[in-house]
Structure 1
Amino acid sequence: MSEFSAFAHPLIVADIGGTNARFALTRAPGEPPRLVTKLATAAHAGPEDALNEAIAACGEARPRAAIICAAGPVTGRTARLTNAPWHFDGPAIAQACGLEQGLLLNDFEAAALSLAFVEEGDVSPIGPSIVAGRGPKLVLGPGTGLGVAALARCGETFLPLPGEGGHVGIGPQDAEDDNYWPRIARQHGRVTAETLLCGPGLQRLHAALAPDFGADPSEAGAVPPPQIAEAALAGNDPHAAATARIFLKLLARTAGDLALVFGATGGVFLRGGVLHALARLIEPETFRRHFTGKAPVDAFARAMPLALMLEDAVILRAMAGIGADPQRFALAYGERLWRA
C-alpha cells in the first residue's frame, strides 16, 4: 500500500449506475455525506458532464476531490459502465472538473468496502441474530447481473476482494430442480449463478417453469422482472409465486456455498434491486435452512450471520470513510489515484 494519507476536502462521492447517479458531499473528514443531487445517467453524455452538474449543486463548498463507484469494470484509473455508454478516465475527469485528486471503484468493490461501515439500521437479519466473527464478510446482489465481493480484515486494515463469483456453475439439488432444470436456457453453454439469480435470470426461471402451468415459455420469458415480482407479491398467480419461491431458494443456496468459499463468519449480506422487490416473500426460517444445508459442514454455515441490506446510503458513507482515512483500506492507491 502506498503512503497516500488523505483526500482533500470538501470531497464529493458518487454511486453511478446505468440508470441513476447519486452524488453526496462531505465537507471535512469524518463528517457524514450529504446527498446533493440524483441525476439520470442517460441525460448526460458522460461522467464529466454529470460530475460538473453535481459540483455546481454543492454551492460554495466546491469539492477538491472525488471518489466514484461505477457499475462496471474498473482498471486502474479507468472504468466503463456496463449498461450505459459512459467511459471514465480519472485523470481526464480531474482535469475537466478541476479536482486535485480522485479514485474509481467498482460498484461491488464499494459494496464490499461498505461492510466496514454497516450500522444496525442498515440491515435486517434473516433468521436469528448471530454474533459476527472476525472472518471475512461477503456481499451478494442480484440486479442486472449477480455481483459478489468479500471484505477481509488484517489488523486494522480492510482488503476488498472483488471477483466474478456470479459466474460459478450451479446445478439441481432436489426433485423440484430436476423437473425444470433441463428447460433452463443456458448462457454461454453453462448454467451459472448469474444465469438465474438476476433480473434476466428471473425471466429465464419464469420461462423454464411455464410448461408446469400451461404457459408458453417464450411469452413467460418476456414478462418483465418487476411484473413477475408484483404478481408473486399479489398472491393470485401461482406461476409467478413459484418463480419467486425457487429464485429465493437458489439464492439462499448459492449465498451459503459462496460463504463457505470465503469462510464468511463476519456475515453474509444480500442487496440488489431484484432481491428488494422480492424481500417480502422471504420466509426467514426456510431461507436460512437452504443457506445452512451444507452437509457435512452445516455447523460452520450455521455460525455465519445472514442479513438483508436495507438501502444503499451506506455505500456513500463508505466512500466518505475511505476519503477520511484511506490508509485503513488496501486499495493500491499508487496505481489508481488520478493524480500522482
Structure 2
Amino acid sequence: MTDPFDLAPEHEQVVFANDPATGLRAIVAIHSTALGPALGGTRFHPYATTDAALRDVLDLSRGMSYKAALAGLDLGGGKAVIIGDPRTLKSEALLRAYGRFVQSLGGRYRTACDVGTFSVDMDQVARECDHVTGRTVAHGGAGDSSVLTAYGVFQGMRAAAEAAWGGTSLAGRTVGVAGVGKVGRHLVRHLVEDGADVVVTDPWQPALDTLVADHPEVRVVASTAALVAEPLDVYAPCALGGALTDEVVAVLRARVVCGAANNQLAHPGVEKSLADRGIVYAPDYCVNAGGLIQVADEIDPSGFSFERAQQRASGIFETTRDVLALAVRDGVSPALAADRLAEARMRDVGRLRGIWIS
C-alpha cells in the first residue's frame, strides 16, 4: 500500500476507520484548515483496493481546499470515502458508526453528501455527529446539494462560452453531458431552458429513462466514446473523475469542456493537450463549487437560506471568467491560474488566522 506521507506530504491529517460489526471501512483526508474547518462530502464506492480509495480521497480533499478558496468560503478542504457497494453494504448501523468516527475528529472535518450518499444518509450520520451538513430539509438542512452544483456548473459554462465565442448563451449550442445522475440531470434542465441542444449518455438505464421522460427532446447515445465523437460545442463530464484522457482529447470535437465531475484530468499533461487543440477548459473545482456553497450555508447561524446560497453560487460565473482571463493574461493553463488564485487566498487568510503557509 502507498505510504500516505509520500503520496500527500501537504495533507494535515489522514485517518482510517474500521468497524467490523457494521462493515464500515472509511478514510477521512483533511488537506487544509487554513481557511477554517475542512468540509467535504462522503463518497460511498466499491473501490477495488484500499490504495485506490486512499488515492481518491487524497485527490478529492485537495480539490476541496481549492474549491472552498475559489468560492470565497471560510472553510478548508477535506473528503471522506467509505469502501464498499452502497447498494448492499449501506445500513443505519454503518452510517451511525461512521457518524461516531467523524465526531471523534472534534469538528476539524465536517461531512456532507457525495457519490453514493444522500441527504437521508446524512440524517442518520447526524444522529451520532454534530458536524454534518447536507441534511434533509425536514431536519433543517440544505437538502440535495446537486441542485446548486448543477447551477454553478451552468454558470461556469456560460463564462467558458463567453471566452470561446464572445457570448454567454448556450442557445443553439450542442452540449454533450456524460452522466445524468444527481448533478447531470439538473444541468440538463438548465441547458434545455437556455435553448441548447443536449446529447447525453449514462451507463445506468433508469437514469436515462427518467431524464428522457422529463426532457423528450434530449438525444441519448450509447457510450461516452460515442458522445465525445459527436459534433459537440461543449463537453460536460458529470460522472466520476479521470474522464479527460489522452484518448478522449484526441477525438474530442468540442470547443469547451466544463462539467461537474471532480478531478477530470487523467494526468496534468491532458490540460496542455486541450490547450494545444484550442479547447477552453473550465477547471472542475472552480465550476462545481455550488454544492459546497449550498451545504456550507447550513452553518450560518441564521439557518439555511436557499436564496442566499444560490446568489453566492451565481458568483461562479465571475470566478470562472476571472480564472480564464488570468490564464490568457499570464500565458498559463486555466488550472494553474485557478490554483494561483486559490493559493493566494489560503496564504493571505491563513496568515491572518496565524497559520503560516509558504
- TM class, shorter-length: 0.3 to 0.5
Higher relative contact order (CA 8 A, sep 6+): 1
The structure with the greater share of residues assigned to strand is: 1
User: TM-score, normalised on structure 1?
Assistant: 0.38
User: TM-score, normalised on structure 2?
Assistant: 0.37
